[in-house]
Amino acid sequence: MDSTRVTEQPTSCERPQPGVDPADPRGALVHTSTPVRAPGMGALPVQGRSGGDATVPVSTAHTSPGTSEPGTSTPFGKGKDTVSDPASEHSQPGAEQTAERDTPRPRPSSEGIPVQPADEQDRPAPNPEGHERRSGQTLPPGRPTPMRRDGDRLRFVGAATRRIARGIDLDEIVMGLCRATVPTFSDAILVYLRDPLPVGDERPTGPLVLRLRRTDRIPAERDTENGFLPAAQPEPNELDTVGAELCEVRPGSALAEVLRGVRPVFTDAPAARAALPELLGDGGEFAVPEGQRAILAPLRGRRRVIGAALFLRRPERLAFEPDDLLVAAQLATHSALGIDKAVLYGREAYIADELQRTMLPETLPRPTGVRLASRYLPAAETARVGGDWYDAIPLPGSRVALVVGDVMGHSMTSAAIMGQLRTTAQTLAGLDLPPQEVLHHLDEQAQRLGVDRMATCLYAVYDPVSHRITIANAGHPPPVLLHLGGRAEVLRVPAGAPIGVGGVDFEAVELDAPAGATLLLYTDGLVESRLRDVWTGIEQLREKLAAVAQLTGPDHPPPLEALCDEVLDMLGPGDRDDDIALLAARFDGIAPSDVAYWFLEPEDAAPGRARRLARRALARWGLEELSDSVELLVSEVVTNAVRYASRPVTVRLLRTDVLRCEVGDDVPQLPRLRQARATDEGGRGLYLVNRLARRWGATRLSTGKVVWFELNRS
């Protein structure tokens, strides 16, 4: 053999195998030496040895008796491969002789199934010295091969379980089981799961019902280009017809006994054969190949059976061996535990997501003189729960409080703290406290919740009558004001310390809020990420707002919903490290000509004067048809106010889409609606307001209260 040179040509054809992940360490290449299908060849092509290898050259000359063919291995791993090194094409003269004298280095073992003979006549025969050698027969290309060594099964189980363990949700785990077993271990697989799947320790109610969750099988047809051979066409009643959508496992039935046994069984066993009609439907057992070519493996989670897997091989492929039951048991165990994990994770993610979203406002209010829009985006699917929140709270006097905050961390605890702080902010806003006082009380509340409860918050109050906004900040990114002409301005608001630090005074500033301007409040997830710092992100946000405003022209502000979408488009693929809360407010304001405001002394003549002033205002606005109702309601509310007030009573009429009347006094007690008796002289004023007004209410202020009502203008 030393004088004979073996000429090797790279004649194999490689193509990615359908249904196999190219990144799978078992390999995703199908090697065939010729595009012509040999007689008697199986439906499955020969699998590649090692994932990621280059094209394996196949020798075109005869091999010596002591060497094995390329792409094959001898039993028990004692054979040696003769494979040309890609670097040998550039070796120096004489390197071929040196390489022939040296012992070839063994190649790394594949995690998949090594290429082996399909039957006993292809197995190497031992020589008198006890060593094995090849019989000279070559393996037909495309022939499916079994696992004949324990090492093969261990490598396959290791690769398959790693693939199954990579899944997080239910679909990924089931798909990992299917892709890991087809076509390496079986030609087809059917995965049945309990419907519905039990979660944790909960006890399922009702009968045990299995639903066909997923099937996977070798395609019936394959591409014939570049030597990729077609598979055998299955019979119409073969594997393609296997599988019913739903099956109910009746207590005491054959299927129930097989599932209770937990261990995988061959379907030619009497108990399993009797269970197939129940699992696959009437006549389904006839589609299962005869002999040991099908394995029924129960899927048992931590506490109960949650499904079953059926592994099948076509008749032209070698049957399963008894040791393959151990492989099926390992696959079923790892898959069932993974499914249990995925169901628990899905339930926790659902609860956390619902907790987060129920603590955010479902709909935004529609206060007078301002339009609102909002967005909320979680950080990622693996960390959906955060502490970002936003809110819009109507205040007395047609004002509105705009709030945005961010609790440190991403967990259920952060979401719970966010809910507590948001509730506290709503309560404080109802007391009509100044913004700096609201932040001060939020800081005290955070300290009561724990020493490590930190949050940032920005609280703003907009008055549509005065066209002013008052803002206080607690360590939050500053808001951006987009003016009507297209100029975007980052408002200079004192940063302050985060909520939860304690012992820090907060400062509020009052700024102009011209009509047509848009105020954008946001959390740091919008402007800060691993790729950019917060001030760079704020500058990009300002430029983005200015660019969007240029599209609509200087006289028309951009629509709020479209503006929010454009702002979120500035996020790149690496900018979703944190959840994002966004609140946009368009200031329309109330024109001075639509406001009438008076001070009335708390005397008996005040109700009559209030009626006359209201009548004149309605005549000026062209709303004389509302005079009778407005005069009656104003008279009743002012009468209740002057009865207990010690300071001047305020009366204000606002003409917007509705007519709103507000009466304020210095008495903190809120009026309540009650049913007056026939003998009572009073107590009917609020009853009339409740019957005639579109809406009405009373709000306590730091200086007293405001009673208001609204009437439709038409």
Dump pLDDT digits (tens) for 586-609.
999 999 999 999 999 999 999 999
Residues 311, 422, single domain; the answer is: no
Judge whether 464 lies within some domain.
yes
Most confident of 298-307, 411-420, 593-602, 686-695: 593-602
Quick one: pLDDT at residue 475? 93
Residue type, 92: Q
The residues that bridge with 513 in the sheet, in sequence order, are none
Higher pLDDT, 29 or 218: 218
- How far, in Å, CA of 369 to CA of 587, rounded? 6
For residue 188, the domain's CATH number is: 3.30.450.40
Under a CB-based contact definition with an 8 Å cutoff, are residues 425 and 472 in contact? no
- Domain annotation covers residue 572: yes
User: For the CA atoms of 339, 345, 347, 352, what is the dihedral angle to 10 degrees?
Assistant: -170
**Rounded Cα–Cα distance for residues 519 and 11 (Å):** 69
Q: In the block, which residue shows the tokens 């070698």? A: 318
Residues 291, 440 share a domain: no
The pLDDT of residue 380:
61
Structural domain contains residue 234: no
Q: Give 586's strand partners.
A: 371, 518
Q: Is the domain of 398 the same as that of 284?
A: no
Distance CA 392, CA 285 (A): 63
pLDDT at 28 (0 to 100): 37
Predicted pLDDT at 642: 92
Can you tell me the mean pLDDT for 568-596?
Answer: 85
587, 612, 643: which is the final residue of a domain?
Answer: 587
Give the start-end residues of each E strand in 314-466.
Answer: 370-377, 387-394, 400-407, 455-463
Q: Is residue 90 a part of any domain in this protein?
A: no
pLDDT in tens, 103-141: 444 434 334 444 333 344 444 444 444 444 333 444 444
What pLDDT is attached to residue 284? 65
In whole angstroms, give the CA distance from residue 196 to residue 306.
Answer: 9
Token pair in block for residue 328: 């099926």
Is there a domain that residue 172 lies in? yes
Domain range for 291 is 150-217+242-350
Same domain, 280 and 327: yes
- Residue-level pLDDT at 573: 63
Give the residue-averaged pLDDT of 435-443. 94
372 shares its domain with 344: no
**pLDDT 10s digits, 30-81:** 333 334 443 333 333 333 333 344 333 433 334 334 433 444 333 333 333 4
Who contacts 630 (Cβ-Cβ below 8 Å, separation ≥6)?
614, 615, 618, 659, 661, 711
456 plus 419 within the same structural domain: yes
Q: Tell me, what's the pLDDT at 554?
A: 80
Q: At which of 572, 587, 602 does a domain end? A: 587
- Three-state DSSP at 237 gives coil
| Domain CATH for 649 | 3.30.565.10
Q: What is the mean pLDDT of the chain?
A: 76
Shared domain check, 650 and 602: yes
- With 0-12 / 13-18 / 19 or more C-beta atoms within 10 angstroms meaning exposed / middle / buried, residue 691 is exposed
Check: CB of residue 431 under 8 Å from CB of residue 702. yes
pLDDT band at 364 (very low <50, low <70, confident <90, very high): very high
Residue 130 lies inside a defined structural domain of this protein: no
Whether 674 is in a domain gets the answer yes
Per-residue pLDDT, 677: 66
In a domain, 209, yes or no: yes
Of the residues 350, 382, 403, which one is the last residue of a structural domain?
A: 350
Residues 517 and 559 in one domain: yes
Residues 505 and 576 in one domain: yes
CATH number at residue 387: 3.60.40.10
* Same domain membership, residue 393 and residue 325: no
Return the H-helix or E-strand segment holding 490.
strand 488-490
Query: What is the total count of domains within the chain?
Result: 3
